[in-house]
Amino acid sequence: MSSDKQNNVKEMARQNGIVQPLLTDFYQITMAYAYWKSGKVNDTAVFDLFFRTNPFHGEFTIFAGLEECLKFLENFYYSDSDIEYLKQTLPATVEYEFYDYLKDLTCKDIKLSAIEEGSVVFPRVPLLRVEGPLIIAQLLETTLLTLVNFASLMATNAARYRMFAGKNVSLLEFGLRRAQGPDGGLSASKYSYIGGFDGTSNVLAGKMFNIPVKGTHAHSFVTSFSTLDDIHSVSLRHADCSRQCDFLKMVLESRERISEILDVSPDEASDGELAALISYAQAFPSGFMALVDTYDVKRYNIQGLFRHGRHANGHSGYNSNCGSNGRSIRNISSIRSACGYSTFERTLRSGLLNFCAVAIALNECGYRAVGIRIDSGDLAYLSVLARETFKRVAEKFDLPWFAKLTIVASNDINEETILSLHEQGHSIDCFGIGTHLVTCQRQPALGCVYKLVEINGQPRIKLSQDVGKVTIPGNKEAYRLFGADGHALIDLLQRSSEPAPEVGQKVLCRHPFQESKRAYVIPSKVEHLYKVYWNEGRICTAPKPLAEVRDRVQSSLKTLRQDIKRSLNPTPYKVAVSDNLYNFIHDLWLQNAPIGELF
Amino acid sequence: MSSDKQNNVKEMARQNGIVQPLLTDFYQITMAYAYWKSGKVNDTAVFDLFFRTNPFHGEFTIFAGLEECLKFLENFYYSDSDIEYLKQTLPATVEYEFYDYLKDLTCKDIKLSAIEEGSVVFPRVPLLRVEGPLIIAQLLETTLLTLVNFASLMATNAARYRMFAGKNVSLLEFGLRRAQGPDGGLSASKYSYIGGFDGTSNVLAGKMFNIPVKGTHAHSFVTSFSTLDDIHSVSLRHADCSRQCDFLKMVLESRERISEILDVSPDEASDGELAALISYAQAFPSGFMALVDTYDVKRYNIQGLFRHGRHANGHSGYNSNCGSNGRSIRNISSIRSACGYSTFERTLRSGLLNFCAVAIALNECGYRAVGIRIDSGDLAYLSVLARETFKRVAEKFDLPWFAKLTIVASNDINEETILSLHEQGHSIDCFGIGTHLVTCQRQPALGCVYKLVEINGQPRIKLSQDVGKVTIPGNKEAYRLFGADGHALIDLLQRSSEPAPEVGQKVLCRHPFQESKRAYVIPSKVEHLYKVYWNEGRICTAPKPLAEVRDRVQSSLKTLRQDIKRSLNPTPYKVAVSDNLYNFIHDLWLQNAPIGELF
């Protein structure tokens, strides 16, 4: 194949994505030229990619994005149009031989070591170590940071939700519409799945990453039906045979029976809503999951709003939309007595009655309904109300499974809401989480940096008055030391030339900067944190598939003590350096001290 | 061409992007099937896309993302692999004819009206109005929201930075590494340019959108040089002729002269830094812009940190990295006297001396340096210090332009930093802004929603106890009414059947929900806010090119009164409904009131 043709094929392949060498900061290119021009083509360097602070006021981070980094290395080349663009953009004084140099650049001389994707990681411990030609290693900086920063932030955010929600609750990612761009949405789906979510509403993410996709219908579906006349067909085929059931009739009959059980008049329920639910059940008889808060909450509200001048007994101003602010369930009874029991109970009256009517009729046709979604109001209270309703119907109809119908909640939920709901008590089986999850609202960026730590075999230290910003110089290895109970005790950075710590042998672990802080540790297990993933122009350790990375997150989190993972005032996990590395750092520091100046 | 071939061509074209029909919530597809199954294929609907609250505690928003919405409509079709995926994902009970229906779906029957991209917009006024078949219009929801939400949020964020920075300051977007994914970074570059930024560091954004790209070098470039021996070539070709200058000698000579002027010993400056700056200048003699804070600040810090035990006079704990927290320049003199003048002045001593030496030597070779970048420390103070230095050198060398060298600042800058720096006084010409800009840290999501307002000619109203969530029903037009002084007075929503307001004629403008709030307005100018952009399967109004959208942002913002735009407690801009629409809303509201229930 001619070189032109090869380039065409490559350019077409690249159109799959925007992760390419030009997805970088311009100064990487100008530096590359300055390095090239000053004869540094054969200089070799080591860069560490790491972060300095865990996100979300937590004490751990999940490392993610490695697979995408490897794909980036694999496809790293400047296309003809890239070179053309750079020629137009860099000054005319740039020598043409530089473009020839760029044209031939690949990552064949780069060696990339990394921690396993999905692992819990901590400040200062490099997630990636990039070794190779200075110019190429420098050119990778921005893209690697972009790929690791958001992926790790999202995976961490999702893992926190997973942890605080507990094992018995499903978590769905519902955030595409609020994500930071289409790809922000896709990344959010992918990395929240890795972090422990059970599925996403994002269909493309489902297709691309083989993630379970979930979803029911919107309020607009319900409001698009006005009356029972809007129902297209009254029938439904029975599950077990080809017999057509008169579904509408069955629903209306079951609504009569249930309205007695629930002590609600069928007149109180919206027929438009019933028409919508019937239509939805006809479309998905085996997967009937219905949104039940379209009408009742709203009806109640309309009155409160519209007849504003006519009553001043206080409850029109009561905001039942405040489930997410942590109001405890104890308050409900006081509101109930202030408003009158029946007024308050009206919440979900239409939706629950209609849902139960359709679900019972479905059962008579041989199908089991799945459950309901609540998207507004006091989620703790409403979920308990719905569960009580399901139990009552289950008992009356002698259908034990009915008591266990799934209750999904999905209104502006964040980490605090979940903790507060747990505190209050609720009957929610599944949370659908959007904005707070996908934009990482509490902290929308992770601050990974990429620092030069060695050049031509000579260590480099970045000094700063802010000790947190001092880099740990030289080519290093990282080990995780475990105690006898299986918990991770400490991460230890050593110079690459040092022998690995050994099980059962005491190891001196030192604080990297504070002379007085040191301790001996006798590990029961030692895990070498780095594997070489890329070397000699190819992936040499295959990144794990998504499902295994997802498992890795949970197994890795299990090795952390509970107090490190808790929401409030978690204990910091310790990262240490070996005695050898400590002395190495501080000798270098002294060498860099200025001459003849007083401090 | 056969249909298969056509599909192949289409699938290849699509690989350019991930904006495609499956980039949506699964419930859009399940609803589509339920609509299809219940005979609603020919139902027509009107949806409004709007937001309820301006972001960033402000009182305006910039509308952006329209061009991408139009591209989405243009390329809307389900590919064979999409259909295959949906068949696997939807229940087996879904009828096969539905997939045939999806296969033929396009946006040919959709009509999209929109406000001009780049306009200032306000809560409740629809940004997009989508009319057409219910199923298709519903299927567009999530993707349109994704495309408008982040684009508008970013453009608004950038426009706010532009406004608060003032006209005389350049703004560069430097945020790729902290963006929410690769495409989050690209969108940030694009929409911050639209919002008024002058350029980006993101090279791919430059290539794709023709945005100016900017950048210099990183600290790692400086630290990769250790001594003057690291310089590859001592010479530089003179700008005006082919004569080779002994550039190193010229730099060292000028450093001697400047060190006298600045009263700094050349020994105090780092030779590694000088080697780096010389190399960079040789690479970019006409574009010499240097990072000048690699060494001095750090040296100062090292001492403070490292000899911690040996002094307790207070200044070792002084954090000069706090430029962003608003400390006023008045404090500097007190710190100066506490620390001793010379100690404090050491900040930037190495960098400024080395920069000036290289810049003067460049001048002797016929090139003008561009300026410096400061990436740490007290930006107000350091920029003033740098400016004073440049002025002193300008005077001594009789080079007036030297006093006006560009000073770029770039350390974790946000809206508050800029306001605080302005308050303190500074000499910064250009801000490079990253994380806070590109992730919209203050508010990382805009809450646009997409609501059904009409079905088969019948209005739909979404009622909520939270009056802010009540939708304004029906097919509407929006007008902006201007006063005699050219300022926008109010946005007015009317029913589409009403005649447009006329210049010089009084118009009754009503608060949409509060009976008592109403006023007559006599507009001097009336702007109809909507144009039809998509109709009969094609773009019928071409979206404006990026540069014009960018101009539109500034001209549109100019029509807003200053008090609406200010940072602190801005005045809300008013959005009203016509008397006709008011009555229409409230009649509908009454019709939806429940029967037989007390409030």
B518-558 pLDDT tens trace: 999 999 999 999 999 999 999 999 999 999 999 999 999 99
Selecting from A207, A282, A458 the residue whose C-beta is nearest the C-beta of B22 gives A207
Q: What is the mean pLDDT of chain B?
A: 88
Tens-digit pLDDT profile for residues B466-495: 777 788 999 999 999 999 999 999 999 999
Q: How many CA atoms lie within 13 A of A174 on its CB side?
A: 24
Q: What is the CATH number of domain B3-158+444-591?
A: 3.20.140.10
Q: Does B452 touch chain A (CB under 8 A)?
A: yes
What was the pLDDT predicted at B318?
31
Q: Sorting pLDDT into bands at 50, 70 and 90, what band is B589?
A: confident
Domain spans in chain B, listed from the N-terminal domain onward: 3-158+444-591, 219-405
- Using CB atoms and an 8 Å cut-off, which of residues 517-556 of chain A contact chain B? none
What was the pLDDT predicted at A594?
52
DSSP A93: T
Give the pTM. Answer: 0.91
Q: Does A83 touch chain B (CB under 8 A)?
A: no
Q: Please provide the DSSP assignment of B512-578 as one string.
A: SS-TT-EEEE--SEEEE--EEEEETTEESSPPPPHHHHHHHHHHHHHTS-HHHH-SSSPPPPEEEE-
What was the pLDDT predicted at A284?
96
Q: Residues of chain A with pLDDT > 90: what percent?
A: 78
Residue with tokens 């609750």, as numbered in its chain: A169
What was the pLDDT predicted at B448?
97
**Average pLDDT, integer, range A138-164:** 97
- CA B533 to chain A, closest CA, distance in angstroms equals 22
- In the predicted structure, residue A574 carries a pLDDT above the cut 80: yes
What distances in angstroms separate CA A440 from CA A93, A180, A209, B92, B444, one per listed residue?
44, 10, 21, 36, 8
> Encoding tokens for residue B519?
């006023």
Q: Does B485 touch chain A (CB under 8 A)?
A: no
Torsion of CA B586, B592, B593, B597, to 10 degrees: 180
What was the pLDDT predicted at A10?
52
Per the CB < 8 Å rule, is A299 touching B592? yes
User: Residue A229 burial by CB count (10 A; 0-12/13-18/19+): exposed, middle or buried?
Assistant: exposed
Per the CB < 8 Å rule, is A218 touching B27? yes
Q: What is the mean pLDDT of chain A?
A: 88
- In the predicted structure, residue A509 carries a pLDDT above the cut 90: yes
Residue with tokens 């100046």, as numbered in its chain: A597
Give me the interface pTM, i.e. the ipTM. 0.90
**Average pLDDT, integer, range B450-460:** 95
- In the predicted structure, residue B298 carries a pLDDT above the cut 60: no
Return the CA Rg of chain B.
30
Q: Residues of chain B with pLDDT > 70: what percent?
A: 87
Q: Residues of chain B with pLDDT > 90: what percent?
A: 78
Residue B227: count other Cβ atoms within 10 Å of its Cβ.
11
Lowest-pLDDT choice from A125-129, A592-596, B530-534, B555-559: A592-596
B25: three-class secondary structure by DSSP = strand
Contacts of B396 (CB under 8 A, 6+ apart): B261
What was the pLDDT predicted at B594?
52
Residue of chain B nearest A596, judged by CA positions: B268
Q: Sorting pLDDT into bands at 50, 70 and 90, what band is B48?
A: very high
- In the predicted structure, residue B147 carries a pLDDT above the cut 60: yes
- Identify the residue with better confidence: B576 or A296: B576
What was the pLDDT predicted at A407?
97
Lowest-pLDDT choice from A140-144, A448-452, B296-300: B296-300
Selecting from B28, B215, B593 the residue whose C-beta is nearest the C-beta of A30 gives B215
Q: Does B504 touch chain A (CB under 8 A)?
A: no
Rounded CA separation A303/A321 (Å)? 16
Residue B286: count other Cβ atoms within 10 Å of its Cβ.
15
What was the pLDDT predicted at A296?
56
B162: three-class secondary structure by DSSP = helix
Q: Does A13 touch chain B (CB under 8 A)?
A: no
Lowest-pLDDT choice from A225-239, B340-354, B570-584: B340-354
Lowest-pLDDT choice from A241-245, A333-337, A430-434, B232-236: A333-337
Lowest-pLDDT choice from A160-164, A251-255, A343-347, A471-475: A343-347
- In the predicted structure, residue A454 carries a pLDDT above the cut 80: yes
Selecting from A26, A201, A320 the residue whose C-beta is nearest the C-beta of B201 gives A26
Q: Sorting pLDDT into bands at 50, 70 and 90, what band is A344?
A: very low
Q: Sorting pLDDT into bands at 50, 70 and 90, what band is A469?
A: confident
What was the pLDDT predicted at A216?
86
Contact B148, A178 (CB under 8 A): no
Rounded CA separation B554/B272 (Å)? 45
- Identify the residue with better confidence: A305 or B403: B403
What distances in angstroms separate CA A521 from CA A489, A492, A524, A525, one per listed residue?
8, 10, 10, 11
Across the A/B interface, how many CB contacts are shorter than 8 Å?
430
Q: Please list, residue by residue across B251-272, b when 16 or more beta carbons sit within 10 angstroms of its beta carbon and e when fewer do.
A: bbebbeebbeebebebebbbbb
- Report angle CA B55, B57, B58 to the nearest 5 degrees: 75
Q: Sorting pLDDT into bands at 50, 70 and 90, what band is B411?
A: confident
Tens-digit pLDDT profile for residues B175-200: 999 999 898 999 999 999 999 999 99
- Residue A164 carries which side chain, given as an amino acid letter? F
Contacts of B210 (CB under 8 A, 6+ apart): B546
Contact B501, B481 (CB under 8 A): yes
- Identify the residue with better confidence: A344 or B425: B425
What was the pLDDT predicted at A590?
82
**Average pLDDT, integer, range A539-548:** 96
DSSP E strands, B96-194:
111-114, 120-121, 128-133, 170-173
- In the predicted structure, residue B502 carries a pLDDT above the cut 50: yes
Q: Sorting pLDDT into bands at 50, 70 and 90, what band is B575?
A: very high
What was the pLDDT predicted at A194?
98
Tens-digit pLDDT profile for residues B81-97: 999 999 999 999 999 99
Rounded CA separation A217/A280 (Å)? 8
**Average pLDDT, integer, range B225-250:** 93
What was the pLDDT predicted at B295?
77
- In the predicted structure, residue A342 carries a pLDDT above the cut 50: no
Q: Sorting pLDDT into bands at 50, 70 and 90, what band is B598?
A: very low
**Average pLDDT, integer, range B282-295:** 92
Residue with tokens 């009256």, as numbered in its chain: A349
- In the predicted structure, residue A430 carries a pLDDT above the cut 90: yes
Which residues on chain A are in Cβ contact (under 8 Å) with B231?
38
- In the predicted structure, residue A324 carries a pLDDT above the cut 50: no
- Residue A145 carries which side chain, given as an amino acid letter? L
Which residues on chain B are in Cβ contact (under 8 Å) with A280?
34
- In the predicted structure, residue A299 carries a pLDDT above the cut 90: no
Tens-digit pLDDT profile for residues B104-146: 999 999 999 999 999 999 999 999 999 999 999 999 999 999 9
What was the pLDDT predicted at B593?
59
Q: Please list, residue by residue across B51-66, b when 16 or more beta carbons sit within 10 angstroms of its beta carbon and e when fewer do.
A: beebbbebbbbbbbbb
Q: Sorting pLDDT into bands at 50, 70 and 90, what band is A3?
A: low
Lowest-pLDDT choice from A147-156, A291-300, A471-480: A291-300
What was the pLDDT predicted at B309?
32
- Using CB atoms and an 8 Å cut-off, which of residues 149-208 of chain B contact chain A? 149-150, 174, 176-188, 201-204, 206-207
- In the predicted structure, residue A497 carries a pLDDT above the cut 90: yes
Contacts of B76 (CB under 8 A, 6+ apart): B20, B21, B105, B106, B107, B140
**Average pLDDT, integer, range A84-99:** 96
- Identify the residue with better confidence: B543 or A461: B543
